[in-house]
A and B are shown apart, each in its own frame.
Chain A
Amino acid sequence: RMMDHYYNTLRDDLMYMTYLHEPGPRKPPRQIRLKYDPEDPYTKNRVNPPVGGSQVGRKPAPPTSWDNVVQLERIQIHTMVKEALSSRVNLLGPIMMLRALSGETQYGGGRHTSEGVQVVRGVKTVGGWIRPGLPVGAKVDLKGPKMYDFLGTLTEFVLPRLREFPGFVMPAPSAQHFTPSSVSGVISVGLPPEAMGLFPQIEVNLDAYPGTYGMHIHFITNAEGQGAQNKARALLSGLQVPF
Chain B
Amino acid sequence: MSALPRCSSCRPRLPRPKHGLIRPRCLATEVSSGSVTIPAESTPTVGKVKIYDTIRTSVILNRSPFLTRPLSRFEQAFYAYQQRIQRALHNPFPYEFYFKQGSLLESKFNAEERRRERMAFGAPFGISESQEGSENKSQNAKESVAEALDREEEEKIPRRGEADRTNDVRSLERKGERNLYLLLLKKLDDRQVWRLPEGGLQKGEVLHESAERNLLTECGIRMDTWIVSRNPIGLYRSSTSNQVSPRHIFFYKAHILAGQVRPDGTNVLDYAWLTKEEMEDRLDKEYWLGLKDILSDN
Contacts and interface: CB of A to CB of B under 8 A. Distances in A.
Given A9-B12, A110-B85, A237 B298 contact: no
Contacts of A5: 12-13, 64
B97 A105 contact: no
A109 interface: yes
Given A110-B85, A110-B89, A205-B98, A12 B12 contact: no
Contacts of A17: 18, 228-229
Interface in A9-66: 9-10, 12-13, 16-17, 19, 21
Nearest to A107: B91
B76 interface: no
A164 interface: no
A16 B98 contact: no
A109 B12 contact: no
Nearest to A242: B16
Given A4-B68, A109-B85, A205-B98, A13 B228 contact: yes
B256 to A, nearest CB: 12
Interface residues of A, number: 26
A208 to B, nearest CB: 6
A13 B253 contact: yes
Nearest to A7: B298
A204 interface: yes
Contacts of B90: 108-109
A9 B180 CA distance: 12
Contacts of B86: 109
B208 to A, nearest CB: 11
A1 B12 contact: yes
20 contacts: A1-B68, A2-B12, A4-B68, A8-B12, A8-B296, A9-B12, A9-B65, A12-B296, A16-B229, A16-B231, A17-B18, A17-B229, A96-B97, A105-B91, A108-B90, A108-B91, A109-B86, A109-B90, A208-B97, A237-B18
Interface of A: 1-2, 4-5, 7-10, 12-13, 16-17, 19, 21, 96, 105, 108-110, 204-205, 208, 234, 237-238, 240
Interface residues of B, number: 29
Interface of B: 10-16, 18, 64-65, 68-69, 85-86, 89-91, 97-98, 105, 179, 228-229, 231, 233, 253, 255, 296, 298
A19 B233 CA distance: 10
Contacts of B253: 12-13, 16
Nearest to B97: A208
Contacts of A9: 12, 14-15, 64-65, 179, 255
A14 to B, nearest CB: 8
Contacts of A105: 91
Contact of B231 (A4, A8, A19): A19
B139 to A, nearest CB: 20
A16 B233 contact: yes
B140 to A, nearest CB: 24
Contacts of A10: 15
B296 A4 contact: no
B65 A8 contact: yes
Given A9-B64, A110-B85, A204-B98, A4 B69 contact: yes
